[in-house]
Structure 1
Amino acid sequence: MFNFFKKIVNKIKGEEKEKKRENIPKEELEEILIGFDIQYDLIESLLKHLGDLVTPKQLEVALLRFVRGESYYDKTRLKTITTKPLVHLIVGVNGAGKTTTIAKLAKLSLKQHKKALLGAGDTFRAAAVKQLQLWGEKLNVQVISAKEGSDPSSLAYNTIESAIAKNIDEVFIDTAGRLHNQTNLKNELSKIARTCSKVLKDAPFYKFLILDGTQGSSGLTQAKIFHETLALDGVIMTKLDGTSKGGAILSVLYELKLPILYLGMGEKEDDLIAFDEERFIEDLVDAVFVEQ
């Protein structure tokens, strides 16, 4: 599931072998975790109560303590929303995989025998609208779109209105991600969110961030901008099939205290897996203790 960690170990230690080490010196473990692109202050926090030689069980306990700690756990459960239609506002920088992820989320909805509707809210990029329309055709899901350059808030309004009229279960709305112009993007996203609240008569809706896993911890800067603007509900990390920076998952949890919902592991509509923190930790510890 999380075999991207093996790539880190291979780079640091050379070719992977089956045999596992019984313990690792703390200094060496620190080096390995840095290679995983985990923030240094988080590494220090994880290791500060451990001895000079760290066993797999000790590292596993430290990681579980982190992800299940009271201050973390209480804040990183996805809130339950029963509103119909259930609206998902999908945000993230251009190139993070928003449009493909929307298709994957729609496919999950269809698998649950729900009716889905897509909104092509990145109205300034014709390519993004076209890509979403192609996914809609493939999934047999309607896509609400507008002329290039149209007001994305109006598009969001029309999408939700259409969903209400058609008794749709779940709505997924794409958005622009022009982070080079932060002020305009913040204003645009805030307006879209207000519009969603208005048409839903202040009923709650989800705001999910799509974060490119290849960016490592540098993606945290992007995440903070979106979180400050919208008060996000969760994160979906993409492109983890081709990156060795999966440790950034821990950094997102540490910095933002937001739930990791899904991991994108490929380009197909089924390549989206629910994040399993126990399996994540198990694979991380297993990768760390591969013998040289």
Structure 2
Amino acid sequence: METVILAVVIAVVVLGALGGLIVGSRRRKPLPPPPPRTPDITAPPAEPHVGDEAETPRDEPRRTIEEVDLPGGPAVVVEEPPSGPAVEVPELEIPEPTAGRLVRLRARLSRSQNALGKGLLTLLSREHLDDETWEEIEDTLLTADVGVQPTQELVEGLRERVKVLGTRTPEELRGLLREELLKLVGTDVDRTVKTEPEDRKPGIVMVVGVNGTGKTTTTGKLARVLVADGRTVVLGAADTFRAAAADQLQTWGERVGAYTVRGPEAGDPASVAFDAVKEGKEMGVDVVLIDTAGRLHTKTGLMDELGKVKRVVEKHAPLDEVLLVLDATTGQNGLVQARVFAEVVDITGIVLTKLDGTAKGGIVVAVQRELGVPVKLVGLGEGADDLAPFEPEAFVDALIGD
């Protein structure tokens, strides 16, 4: 019995050993290789490992940075820098001479003013000049904004002269009317824009006026007038409340070679004006033109600030001119503006703009009477050289026509 049990144990051991050999041989058997994969042509090439041989021989000529393509874009091309400056300096304009400008612009002026002259001549040519006719003459003058007092003076003068004259030919009437109008406009007044003080340089001119009168444009055109007369100019852009004003003024200056001093937007106008005069002194120019903000005459605070600009500038030197720019088309409202400005700064001269666009040329007479200062310049169009020195004879000739 014991022999049978021993035999069974030996058999079990032998079978277990044989099973282990078989399992071990299976574990040591290598796995089959994976199936071949389709190469991904979009995948980036594998990075080289340490020890890998470089595919490109070391003695191959190396490419420069100009020849290397950047991923996703064309090759970078490095250009040689230009030999000279790329910025082109605009050619300076040569303004039209100012002498006789108003005569050359007479046709433009007479187109809008003939209604006054022709109306008066027609009335004066009537065979019988009764009271009704003289009233019509008065109405014609008042409609042209001559003003009440100047109109009465003109009518009285005409009535006296016509009574003495007796018979009246068209030529005599035209000559009579011309003489009386010249008396009103004034021929013995100095209308020169003062820009050349005897004891110092530069001359200082401040330009003031209400919004919309063309004040900044007038300042730029005045710079052209001065340059045309052989003077050098610095512009002060003291209208800091209107963003485009300084740019507009600088553009006007660049066209004729005038330097523009400007400050930050909404900055202190008095500071800009002060710096403009300082720069003008250092540069040795002949004239400094200061463009101020177009202040509404109803805003007392802004008018006070205009007075401040004047006081600050006069720390350098007295102002030689304070020019008030008025829109001729505003008529009697322009006189209201003139009164307020005259209370703040001492107006020395008047610039009437848009005189070619109104039949109310009598404003020349009215504003001179109101302020006691002469009209020195008139604007007769949108052109750069359409600002002309005021000449009474040429103006009256345009009023009454040929």
Confirm whether residue 47 of structure 1 aligns to residue 164 of structure 2.
no
Q: Distance in 1 between matches of 2:366 and 2:250?
A: 34
1:210 aligns with 2:210: no
Gaps of 5+ in 1: 14-18, 288-292
- Please report how far the alpha carbon of residue 230 of structure 1 lies from its aligned counterpart in structure 2 after TM superposition: 0.7
Partner in structure 1 of residue 36 of structure 2: none
1:60-113 deviation per Cα after TM superposition (whole angstroms, max 9, x unaligned): 3322333449xxx56x65585514111110000011111111111111121122
TM-score normalised by L of structure 1: 0.85
- The answer to whether the aligner puts 1:66 opposite 2:184 as a matched pair is yes
Contact 2:191/2:375 (<8 A) preserved: no
* 1:121–1:174 contact (8 Å) kept in structure 2: yes
CA RMSD of aligned residues (A): 2.6
2:116–2:400 contact (8 Å) kept in structure 1: no
Tell whether the 8 Å contact from 1:22 to 1:56 is kept in structure 2 after alignment.
no
- Tell me the equivalent position of 2:229: 112
1:84 to 1:211, Cα distance in 2 relative to 1, 3 A: same
What aligned pairs does 1:274-289 form with structure 2 within 5 A after superposition?
274-286=389-401
Counterpart residue identity of residue 321, structure 2: Y
Q: What is aligned with 1:174?
A: 291
| Distance apart, 1:255 and its partner CA | 1.6
SS of the equivalent of 1:110 reads helix
Aligned amino acid, residue 330 of structure 2: Q
Q: Give the partner amino acid of 1:23.
A: S
Greater RCO between the two (CA within 8 Å, min separation 6)? 1
Decide which of 253, 268, 280 is 1:136's aligned counterpart: 253
CA distance in 2, matches of 1:266, 1:103: 14
Residues 132 and 143 of structure 1 are in contact (CA less than 8 Å); yes or no, is this contact kept in structure 2? Answer: yes
Structure 1 residues 38 and 144 mapped into 2: Cα distance closer, same or farther (>3 Å)? Answer: same
Q: Structure 2 CA distance, aligned partners of 1:134 and 1:120?
A: 11
Deviation, 1:217, is: 2.3
TM-score, normalising length: structure 2: 0.63
Match of 1:16 in 2: none
Please state if 1:23 is matched with 2:138: no
Detail structure 1 runs of 4+ shifted over 4 Å in the superposition. 7-10, 19-22, 76-81
The residue aligned with 1:94 is 211
Q: Which runs of 5 or more residues in structure 2 are unaligned?
A: 1-105, 163-172
Q: How many residue pairs are counted as aligned between the two chains?
A: 275
2:268 to 151, 158, 163: 151
Q: Is the 2:114–2:400 contact (alpha carbons within 8 Å) kept by the matching residues of 1? A: no
Change (3 A) 1:284 1:116: same
Are 2:123 and 2:137, in contact at CA under 8 Å, matched by a contact in 1? no
For the residues of structure 2 that align with 1:182 and 1:168, how far apart are their CA atoms?
A: 35
| % same residue | 37
Deviations 1:233-282 (A, max 9, x none): 10010011222222111111222121111111112221111111122223
Which amino acid letter does the alignment assign opposite residue 265 of structure 1?
L
Report the alpha carbon displacement of residue 52 of structure 1 after superposing the two structures with TM.
8.4
For residue 242 of structure 1, what is the aligned residue in structure 2? 357
The CA deviation at 1:180 is: 5.3
Q: 1:235 and 1:144 mapped to 2: Cα distance?
A: 24
**Residue in structure 2 matched with residue 262 of structure 1 by the alignment:** 377
State whether residues 224 and 385 of structure 2, in contact with CA within 8 Å, keep that contact through their aligned partners in structure 1.
yes
Compare CA radii of gyration and give the structure with the larger one. 2
**Cα distance change of structure 1 residues 152 and 268 upon mapping to structure 2, 3 Å threshold:** same
